[in-house]
Amino acid sequence: MMAAMKIALIQYNPVIGDFAGNIARIADWLKKARAADCQLAILPELAVSGYPPQDLLERPAFLDDQDRAFAQMVATAHGIGIGVVCGLVTRNPTPMGKPLHNSGVLFADGEVLFTTHKQLLPTYDVFDEARYFEPGSGSGTFRYQGLRLGVTICEDIWNDTSLFPHPLYATDPVAAMLAQADTPVDLLINLAASPFNLGKGGIRHKIFANLCQRHALPLIYVNQVGGQDSLIFDGGSVALDKHGAVVAQAVRFAEDLVVVDTATWQGEIHGAPGRAEAGQETGEVCEALVLGTRDYVTKCGFSKVVIGLSGGVDSALTAAIASRALGPENVLGVALPSPYSSPESLEDAEQLAKNLGIDFTVLPITGLFEAYLAALAPVFAGAAEDVTEQNIQARIRGNLLMAIANKQRRLLLSTGNKSENAVGYCTLYGDMSGGLAVISDVPKQLVYGLCRHLNQSREIIPFRTIDKPPSAELAPNQRDEDDLPPYPVLDAILAAYLEEHRSIGEIVAMGFARPMVEDVVRRIRINEYKRKQAPLGLKVTTKAFGQGRRYPTAEGYRETVLP
């Protein structure tokens, strides 16, 4: 029979490198766990430093400061009277390999009782752990108060050969650990910092349930929560019994503590399991973007933002997310009508601001635009108008918005979506200006879905904004579809090419016209230089522009297209 113990699953929101703040927040959570009569608390991966600390790990002072903070944390937990399993950066004592380990430690009564190291170090997409860490080896088991714990770290449970037909690693740490254990393991524990993307919740649940059923063991999974640069960690910490049934569940996209009792293997259900149905995924993305925006803005030291409101869906969605994330009193919307802006767009921008309760101002740019044209007239003499004049308008807007951001100590949020960014339908130093690109990983069709989601209970984003044909309004009677495929078609091609890595031929075989597919791929390629200079964006799909997509800018590869 499993030893009786109450265990707290603590998912908290760290600030990378804020050691004093992090251990203070952890101490508060440990007090709550002890008040709930818990004997053991479990924290996420790299809980002391926050994940991912990236090249801060190359600074000896950073590591020394973490060690001092951890020592204080061990002493604090001793005073509270609780054991803790925690993620930590530790030093590699051997003369070979990378200098650090991504570790899990168990400490109680003022001392560290057990340490194990992460074995599978991901280097795909946004992950680059092999840059810093040496992989661990050996058994990660330890007996604590009569309970034999098997401790793993994040990726260590993501190489189940029964689920993945092409495993990324040669070993399965869980299977190896259980084979090496001198005595049977009672409970599997996984410390994680696993970022959100669409569809990932279902994959996680499948992995967890299969792991429990395959080894006939219960599992506790504790995940980091919060936004960190482009990444959004959704929490969703969970405990499952040996049959794979969920017995305790933390909320997603917020800090939380849930308790599970090993005597009865029952716990608290605070949130729904992370297996969103198709219709729920839009709501998940909305929560993720709100959390990512709030944390990026505040962790970077800002409290207020400014947004250019065009009267279109993209800026409306960005403003709505910012209002939820930071409070409407901290959001300023600015309309910057040009000679080609419709009266309806200005009306829609103002109505949106009223619906959200945010501050709103209007700065017409016609006079500035005419001054630019006059100044450039000698250089442009004899040249026909083209996209240059459109870009001038966008850059005037970007300049004015940045001036407001500087003067009022606000962060400028850019409003471009993934579909536009992919094909370069955006202006460098214009509408791409800003400190955070909130919806840069949101395809246009999902933009519309998010707008409708926000309007479920009342009209927040004006219905006219959603229903009208999208337009940059930088030229007379301009429509996006004059230059781009219809967005449902464009988004399908982009998903196939960017996220599924399909070839041009494969996408054509899906039913899309070859010239259109080739043109979209060409645009993706030639606009790489723009995206390299874009503000950081929040990641919600499986493949976002940014650190997880590493393509050369100067290159000569052209895909062979067979007839």
> What pLDDT, on a 0 to 100 scale, did the predictor assign at position 519?
96
Instruction: Tell me the pLDDT tens digit for each residue of 225-246.
Output: 999 999 999 999 999 999 999 9
| Rounded average pLDDT over 438-446 | 98
pLDDT at 472 over 90: no
CA atoms in the 13 A half-sphere facing the CB of 85: 34
Confidence of residue 275 (pLDDT cuts 50, 70, 90): low
Structural domains of the chain in order of their starting residue, each with its CATH number: 6-276 (3.60.110.10), 283-532 (3.40.50.620)
- On the question of pLDDT at 355 being above 70, the answer is yes
Quick check: is 154 catalytic? Answer: yes
Among the residue ranges 110-114, 162-166, 356-360, 450-454, the one predicted with the least confidence is: 162-166
String of DSSP letters for 104-117:
EEEEETTEEEEEEE
Query: What pLDDT is recorded for position 478?
Result: 79
pLDDT of 73 reads 96
DSSP 133: B
Query: For residue range 52-81, what is the model confidence (pLDDT) as tens digits?
Result: 999 999 999 999 999 999 999 999 999 999
Average pLDDT over residues 538-552: 94
Cα angle vertex 489, ends 484, 492, to 5°?
A: 120
Among the listed ranges 12-26, 89-103, 156-170, 210-224, which one has the minimum average pLDDT value? 156-170
Q: Kindly report the CA angle at 253 between 249 and 256, in degrees rounded to 5?
A: 50
Q: Does 273 have pLDDT greater than 80?
A: no
| Cα-based distances in Å from 8 to 31, 41, 266, 446 | 11, 5, 12, 37
Measured CA angle at 397 (ends 396, 402), to 5 deg? 100
Tell me what the pLDDT averaged over the chain comes to.
94
**pLDDT of amino acid 529:** 96
For the segment 277-302, the average pLDDT, to the nearest whole number, is 91
Strand partners, 149: 142, 187
**pLDDT tens across 154-206, in order?**
999 998 877 887 888 988 999 999 988 677 899 999 999 999 999 999 999 99
pLDDT at 278 over 60: no
Give a three-class secondary structure readout of 531-556.
Answer: HHCCCCECCCCCCCCCCCCCCCCCCC
pLDDT band at 274 (very low <50, low <70, confident <90, very high): low
- 6, 38, 45, 420: which is the annotated catalytic residue? 45
Percent above pLDDT 90 for the chain: 87
pLDDT at 2: 67
Task: Indicate whether 536 pLDDT > 70.
Answer: yes
| Mean pLDDT computed over 91-113 | 96
Q: Give alpha helix (H) positions in 181-312.
A: 200-215, 281-299
| 3-state SS track over 429-488 | CCCCCCCEECCCCCCHHHHHHHHHHHCCCCCCCCHHHHHCCCCCCCCCCCCHHHCCCCHH
Angle at 68 between CA 222 and CA 62, to 5 degrees: 80
Q: Catalytic annotation on 528?
A: no
Q: Give the pLDDT of residue 287.
A: 97
Given the residues 38, 86, 129, 154, the one annotated as active site: 154
User: Which of 305, 303, 300 minimizes the C-alpha distance to 318?
Assistant: 305
The arithmetic mean of pLDDT across residues 271-294, rounded, is: 82
d(CA 374, CA 286): 44
Active site residue 444: no
Give the pLDDT of residue 303.
97
Residue 277, pLDDT > 90, answer no
Per-residue confidence band for 135, with pLDDT thresholds at 50, 70 and 90: very high
- The single residue of 6, 38, 86, 118 carrying the catalytic annotation is 118
pLDDT of residue 181: 67
Distance of alpha carbon 53 from alpha carbon 371, whole angstroms = 47
pLDDT at residue 279 in the model: 60
Mean pLDDT value of segment 407-414: 98
Percent of the chain with pLDDT over 70: 98
CA distance 211 to 161: 11
What pLDDT sits at residue 183? 74
